[in-house]
Structure formats: structure tokens, C-alpha cells
Structure 1
Amino acid sequence: MSRTLAEIAALVGGTVEGDPERRVEAVAPLASAGPGDLSFLANPRYARAARSSAAGAILAAPGEDLPGRDVIRVDDPYLALAKALPLFTPPPPPPAGIHAAAERGRDVLIGDDPDIGPGVILGDGVRVGHRVRLYAHVVLGAGVELGDDVTLHPHVTAYSGVRLGNRVLVHAGTILGADGFGFARGPGGLVKVPQIGGVIIEDDVEIGANVTVDRGTLGDTVISHGVKIDNLVMVGHNVQVGAGSMLVSQVGISGSTSLGRGVIMGGQSGAVGHVTIGDGARVAAKTAVTKDVPPGMTVAGVPAVDIRRWRRGVAALNRLPGHLKRLAAASRRHGEFKDD
């Protein structure tokens, strides 16, 4: 379905430079876009590609020099893209009801307009809200609760004691509510500590593929409102993830660690157990958090330190080989030692 630039600008809160009645039919990257496509420039490093792109129109910030082009000017092109894409995305198919190959236990309650695929298993006492989509081979343990407009992709498993809020999206292969990693060391070896807590996933959370969120030992592991979790993330028992936080791929968070609101953890970063990462803190990729991080601080390195200190350390380390060569040369001049 084609849209005019004026329609798109009204939706994303932008202004049109050029022909507001120009129509575009799809959204495409700068390199492959054609005259019927809308594209976007969210990073200045792609400005040259934007100027040479064949795109019919481009979402761009004020000040980006795109002469002779139809442009929709917006403060945040990436946010505008997120708002514009649904205009060109086919709507999901209507609910298909409950597949004959789905299995239900006793006392299961299912809301209006369900779409429950083949091989889905709903344990005793499961509660499913309205307009829920459960794709093939989703498994919900006894007593699991799902809010309205929840989507679980194939092979998602939620153990008993898991509760999901409204508009939660979970991608394929994710496990919610497996036992936390808790063992006490006894005279005869390791003794398992029973994990009797649960998992709470609040409203508007999105969880990627093959994520694990462990149940609490006592009490619940909590993923708060609006959190976004990338693929292959591990969240340990009794972790608390604050509202609006983002966990990028391969993050690992050990048990009983608390993240404040709006925390971002970069790819392959991790945190030991029982630490607090304050509101708005940033953890760079591959960083190991071993102690509390104050609100608003950005940390990097192993162990984590203020990123400014880490950068100075890296710069000093990179200068070290040159210093060693100069030291060796000076020492040879004074006859103090010889190179091997």
C-alpha cells in the first residue's frame, strides 16, 4: 500500500522538503532503495550513501545536506522509522482459534480471539488473556498466567510460577522459569537449593530468541515494564531488571543482582551476583561488573571502571611498546643490558 510523504510526515511528526504528494510503497536501506521506496539516514557516516541513493524519499535530521531530494525532516530518524514501518507491514492474519492438536489440562481459562497452534500444551490451571497468539509447541506449565495481546513464538517454555503481563512478545526457544543455579556445599558434595520462587514479566516486555530467565530461589525474578532483551541473554535467579532497560545479546546477569530503570548492558557484558547497577547506567560490551555501579555512570573493562579511566588505560597500554623500545635503546647506549 502506497503512502504520500505528507501522510508519513504527519504520522512521524516531521516536515516535508520537496513534493508532499510523492508516494512511496515500501521502506528499504539506502543502498538498495529505489524511486518507490522510503529510506532513512540515522548515522552521519552514511551521509554519502544517502546523497547517492536512488530512494524516492529519505527520513533525515535537520542539517543533513541532501540537495535535490525529497526529504522528511525529523528530530530522530530512527524513531521515525519505527513509527513509519507499520504503514508498510502486512497486518497479522486473523486469529485461527485453537488447533485440534493443542492440549489443555484441567481448569484452563482462555480469553477471546485466541490463536493457539499445533502441539501447544497448556498445563492445569493456566490462564490466557484475550487475543493471545501461541505458536507451535509452546509449553505453559501449571498455573502460568498470560495477560492480553501476548505473543509466544514456537518452542517457548514457561514453567509453573511464571506470570506475563499485557503485550509481551517472546521469541522462539526462550525458557522462562527454569531453576536458578543454587547449590550449597555439604560434606558429601553439592546439595541443590530448591528454587521455589517464580518469574514476573511485566507489560510491554520483548524477549529475544533462546533467552533464559531463571525462577527465584525465594521470591520472584522480575523483568519490569518495557524492558527489551536481545537473543541469547541469561538472567539469573532473583534478578530485578528495572523498567525500560535494554540487555543486548549474550549478556549474563548472576543471581540477586538489581538493575535500575533505563540501564543498558552491551553485548557479552556481565554482572556478578548481589550487585546494584543504578538508574540510567551504561555497561559497555564485554565488560565485567564486579561491584555496584552508580546511577548514570558508563563503565567498561574487566573489571568494570568508569569508561574515561578505561580509555586512558587502553591508550597508555597502546603506547607501552614504544616506551619499551625507547627504554631498551637508552639502556643499550649506556651499556646496561643487551637485547636477547
Structure 2
Amino acid sequence: MSTAPTRFTVAEIANRFGLEVRGDPSLVISGVGTLAAAQPDQISFLANARYRSQLATSTAGAVVVRKGETATGSGSAPTWLVAADPYVAFARIAALFDRGSAPSPGVHPSAIIAATARIADSASIGPFCVIEERAIVEDGAELGAHCHIGPDCRVGAQSRLYPRATLVTRVCLGKRVLVHSGAVLGADGFGLAFDSDHWIKVPQLGGVRIGDDCEIGANTTIDRGALEDTVLEEDVRLDNQIQVAHNVMIGAHTAIAGCAAIAGSTRIGRNCLIGGGAGIIGHLTIADRVTITAMSLVTHSIREAGEYSSGTPIQESRLWRRNAARFKHLDELARNVADNKKGHRND
């Protein structure tokens, strides 16, 4: 496999992604970087106005900017590529310089494969993988070292599981799914029934269905359903250390940041954004195009698109303690205000 560096001219990049060039189209680009650290042979981007001042000192050879950008840098004055959305354009450009290499097809000698499992000839099975009964690994799929694929699971074509990812049972991955290390899909849902003085475990008989082009972050857990499946539609993106409970359904193109927790049987719509550390209690419905800000606690269904928040922003500790003490008297204050208004009306 060749290790020669990847290089493109600005003109080649612009033509590939439909960008307008302002500056030197013959400039050769060999990598990407931030405005603060990029070198003269690298390309960067300006998508957030807070970083505009860095243009003046950036040594990047080229910068992706939004149409209408007028700021100029001093010194080298980089070549610009103009895009409707600089961040999206930069993401596509950066992929050109991703030097990750595809593994060779085949099964490592240390892997353990059940007799009823089916492995496509073009799949790559890494060291010490375990693939159990009736599991299927489709064309071009890649399993990193120590992955465990349980019974009746399916790994879709061109999907990639990083080392130590686990599919427990009845998990179906669509095409081009990424599952990062430590993720566990298809474990028991937290189903319990209390019988007088002890808990009875409710069997979790469903599975997990993951749509095409989804990404599951490291150490994220998605529990299988009690009777029906837990479902992620296509192009759902989950960050690290997220808990998705049994029978949850997440609509297409929704993205959820790290450490969020979603309780059982919740329905989340399409094109939603859920911030880090947010919590959603069970059996709720979240409409399409809802944004939930970080650390919010969702205790009731959200029926209309929009941005929703709860909790309080950080404050200096003494001020926070005073406000917390006053919060205890909020109901009393509201009643007093209501009584005063009633008294004024009677007057």
C-alpha cells in the first residue's frame, strides 16, 4: 500500500465540491488544519464569526469562507474557497485527506465463527472476533479486533465496527454503519416488575434495528426491545456514552451529544438535536426538528418544533445558593401575587 501524501490543487478541490476560488487556483494543498495552526500547504475554514479575527494571523494556504465574507488577512492573504456552508464544505474536503486504509478481506485465524454464521468473502474479520450462530456479516463490512457478534445479528454492507464493539443478540445494522469501541447494542432492556417484595425480570424479546449511515459513539449502549424492536432510522448520529433504553425510536438525521439518557418507549422525531447530558423520561413523544439544549430534563412530550431548555446556567456559588434558597419560596410568592391581584380587582 502506498504511503505517498495526498495532494490536491485548489482548483481540483473547488471543481470537486462546486466552490468558487478567490486567489491562486494552482496552490497545492496537502492537508487540513485550524485557522490558528494551519500551515501554508493546508486548508482551513471560517464558519463561526467568533474566529474571524484569526484570519489576520492565519498562515493557512487556503480558507473556506461563506459567501459575502469581506475580512482579509495580513501577510500571506490566503486563497479563499467560497461556500454556502463553510463547515459542510470543509468536512467534505477533510475527507480527501483521511489516510485511513481499508483492511484486506478475510477472517483472522484467531477469530471464532459459528458453523451457521454467514460471512461475505469481501468482509474483514479482525483478531479474536467472535461471531455466533446465525449471524450475518455482509459485503465489505469490517470488524476490528475482539468484536463480538451475537446470535441472529446482522452487520450491513460496508459497516465498520471498531475494536471491542458488541452486538448482543437480534441486532440488525444497516449499510455503512459505524460502531465505535466499547459500544454495546442489544443488551437487555431494564424491564422489571415488582411482585410484593421482590423484582421479577421481564424478558426482553425484541431486538435493535439501526438504519443506514448511522454512527454509534464509544461506550454508548442501545438496549433491545421488550417485545418490539428499539429503532434508529437512517443517518442518526450518537455521541459517546449515551444510554438508549428499550423500545426507543429515534427519527432520521437526529444527532445526540454525549452522556444523554433516553428512557424506555420514548419517540424522538426526525432532524432533532439533543445536547450533552440531557435526560428524557420514558413514554414521551418529541416532535420533528426539536432542539433540546445541554443538561435539560424533558419530563413531558414536545409536540411542536423549536428549541427547548431547562435547568439553570452556572453562577458564582454564593449567588447560586441564595437563588436556590429563594426558589423554595417561589410557590408562596406566586400565591401572594395572585392574592394581591385578586384583592385589587375586588377593590
Counterpart check, 1:180 vs 2:185: no
| C-alpha deviation, 1:30, in angstroms | 1.2
1:67-82 paired onto structure 2 within 5 Å: 67=73, 68-82=77-91
Partner SS state of residue 39, structure 1: strand
Counterpart check, 1:31 vs 2:36: yes
Q: Which amino acid aligns with 1:264?
A: L
Corresponding residue for residue 56 of structure 2: 51
Count, aligned residues = 309
Counterpart check, 1:301 vs 2:314: no
| C-alpha deviation, 1:91, in angstroms | 4.7
Q: Which amino acid aligns with 1:24?
A: I
Unmatched 5+ stretches in structure 1: 303-309, 312-316, 325-340
- What does the per-residue CA deviation read over 1:63-112, in whole Å, with 9 as the maximum and x for residues that have no partner? 32125431101111110011101222225134241100000112111113
Q: Distance in 2 between matches of 1:91 and 1:158?
A: 24
Q: Distance in 2 between matches of 1:263 and 1:46?
A: 27
Q: Distance in 2 between matches of 1:32 and 1:196?
A: 52
1:253-264 paired onto structure 2 within 5 Å: 253-264=262-273
Corresponding residue for residue 280 of structure 1: 289
Q: Distance in 2 between matches of 1:7 and 1:118?
A: 39
- What does the per-residue CA deviation read over 1:154-180, in whole Å, with 9 as the maximum and x for residues that have no partner? 111111111111111100000001111
**CA distance 1:192–1:94, shift in 2 (3 Å):** closer
Q: Distance in 1 between matches of 2:223 and 2:72?
A: 50
| C-alpha deviation, 1:291, in angstroms | 0.4
**CA distance 1:56–1:124, shift in 2 (3 Å):** same
Counterpart check, 1:109 vs 2:114: no
Structure 1 vs Structure 2: percent identity of aligned residues?
Answer: 39
Partner SS state of residue 53, structure 1: coil
| C-alpha deviation, 1:280, in angstroms | 0.4
Q: CA contact under 8 A between 2:260 and 2:278: conserved in structure 1?
A: yes
1:9 to 14, 19, 33: 14
Counterpart check, 1:22 vs 2:27: yes
Partner SS state of residue 9, structure 1: helix
Q: CA contact under 8 A between 1:5 and 1:19: conserved in structure 2?
A: yes
Corresponding residue for residue 142 of structure 1: 151
Unmatched 5+ stretches in structure 2: 1-5, 314-318, 327-347
Q: Distance in 1 between matches of 2:24 and 2:201?
A: 68
Between stretches 166-175 and 182-191, larger displacement belongs to 182-191
Partner SS state of residue 21, structure 2: strand
Q: Distance in 1 between matches of 2:90 and 2:167?
A: 33
The alignment's TM-score, normalised by the length of structure 1, stands at 0.87
Q: Distance in 2 between matches of 1:292 and 1:142?
A: 36
Q: Distance in 1 between matches of 2:47 and 2:177?
A: 28
Counterpart check, 1:155 vs 2:161: no
Between stretches 154-163 and 85-94, larger displacement belongs to 85-94
Q: Which amino acid aligns with 1:228?
A: R
Q: CA contact under 8 A between 1:11 and 1:83: conserved in structure 2?
A: no
Corresponding residue for residue 338 of structure 2: none
Q: Distance in 2 between matches of 1:182 and 1:5?
A: 56
Q: Distance in 1 between matches of 2:9 and 2:258?
A: 37
Q: Which amino acid aligns with 2:185?
A: L
1:190 to 191, 195, 199: 199
Q: Which amino acid aligns with 2:292?
A: V
Q: Which amino acid aligns with 2:120?
A: G
- What does the per-residue CA deviation read over 1:270-289, in whole Å, with 9 as the maximum and x for residues that have no partner? 10000000000110100000
Q: Distance in 1 between matches of 2:276 and 2:197?
A: 39
Partner SS state of residue 95, structure 2: helix
Q: CA contact under 8 A between 1:286 and 1:301: conserved in structure 2?
A: yes
The alignment's TM-score, normalised by the length of structure 2, stands at 0.86
